[in-house]
Amino acid sequence: MTRKTWTAVDNYVSDMLVGADAMLDAVLAASAEAGLPDIAVSPAQGKFLMLLARAINARSVLELGTLGGYSTIWLARAMGKGGRVMTVEADPHHAKVAQANFERAGLAAVIDLRSGKALDILPKLAAEEQQAFDLVFVDADKQNIPDYFTWSLKLTRPGSLIIVDNVIRDGAVIDARSRDPSVRGVRRFNEMLKAEKRVGATSLQTVGFKGYDGFTLTLVTG
Ligand code: SAH
Ligand code: DHB
Ligand code: MG
């Protein structure tokens, strides 16, 4: 099985279960046009995030790492009346493209985009946010995942989900001697999860047209 097969099957799943989506196509086209890297979640993963958010009836979502807002829009589509998605993006160009995409999608009122480094913004959120987030999607730089997880625990409640993207990294996650800051970030995160009594977590490997990677699903339990 190779990437060619993963891609064909991903396309098949997208055709059968996600379907054509002119708005999301336009969002990806505008992002590519603006020179953003092609690293958004896949359609199948985006829909998975939306379904998870729906399943827990999420009303408040926090995302770290907006890029052009593709995953943000999937999450925002899961919000019922009064639901809000806050998303944090360090790169001002990415943030500008994302904001235009939210307006294009008619979701600017639902999405609160904060421009800045997540580690600068998270302490402010902790100070200002009265209500816990129901779901956190961590998809920014990977070396800071351990700190993002610590903040996510502070900003959630029992029953909340914390989803962390890109935790398998072509299998590099099992290399204990890796010097790659992203791999080290993920490995430290796994050590934290192993020791943390207040959560239940698992990771699933994924293949598809984006290659071989995976995500961690964490349920806050206490
Ligand atoms: N969630 C997006 C993809 C995000 S790609 C999607 O699936 O559609 C990762 C993003 O994180 C990039 O846009 C990058 O600029 C941003 N990023 C990197 N370091 C960051 C930081 N310290 N704080 C906030 N965002 C950061
Ligand atoms: C990268 C970041 C992501 O969030 C992702 O899903 C894939 C790749 C990256 O920084 O290369
Ligand atoms: Mg990602």
The DSSP annotation for 22-40 comes to: HHHHHHHHHHHHTT--S-S
With both helix axes pointing from N to C terminus, report the angle between 70-77 and 43-55 in degrees, rounded to the nearest 10. Answer: 30
pLDDT for the residue numbered 80: 87
Cβ–ligand 2 distance for 63 under 6 Å, the answer: no
Ligand 1 centroid, distance to 88 Cα (angstroms): 8
Q: Closest residue (by CA) to atom 4 of ligand 2? A: 139
Ligand 2 centroid, distance to 81 Cα (angstroms): 31
Cβ–ligand 2 distance for 212 under 6 Å, the answer: no
Name all residues whose Cβ lies below 6 A of ligand 1: 39-41, 64-67, 70-71, 88-91, 94, 117-118, 139-141
HSE-CB at 26 with a 13 A cutoff on CA atoms is: 11
pTM of the entire predicted model? 0.98
CA distances from 64 to 43, 59, 135, 207 (A): 19, 17, 11, 23
Contacts (Cβ under 8 Å, ≥6 apart) of 177? none
C-alpha span between 113 and 132 (Å, rounded) = 18
pLDDT for the residue numbered 124: 95
Smallest CA-to-CA distance from 135 within 69, 206, 79, 73 is with 79
Cβ–ligand 2 distance for 39 under 6 Å, the answer: yes
Tens of pLDDT, residue by residue, the chain (222 residues)? 799 999 999 999 999 999 999 999 999 999 999 999 999 999 999 999 999 999 999 999 999 999 999 999 999 999 988 999 999 999 999 999 999 999 999 999 999 999 999 999 999 999 997 799 999 999 999 999 999 999 999 999 999 999 999 999 999 999 999 999 999 999 999 999 999 999 999 999 999 999 999 999 999 999
Ligand 3 centroid, distance to 126 Cα (angstroms): 24
Smallest CA-to-CA distance from 199 within 215, 182, 222, 166 is with 222
- Pairing mode, if any, of strands 211-220 and 199-208? antiparallel
Mapped onto helix, strand or coil, the DSSP state of residue 170 is helix
Task: Lay out the sheet containing 135-138: strands in order across.
Answer: 111-115, 84-89, 60-64, 135-138, 161-165, 211-220, 199-208
Ligand 1 centroid, distance to 1 Cα (angstroms): 30
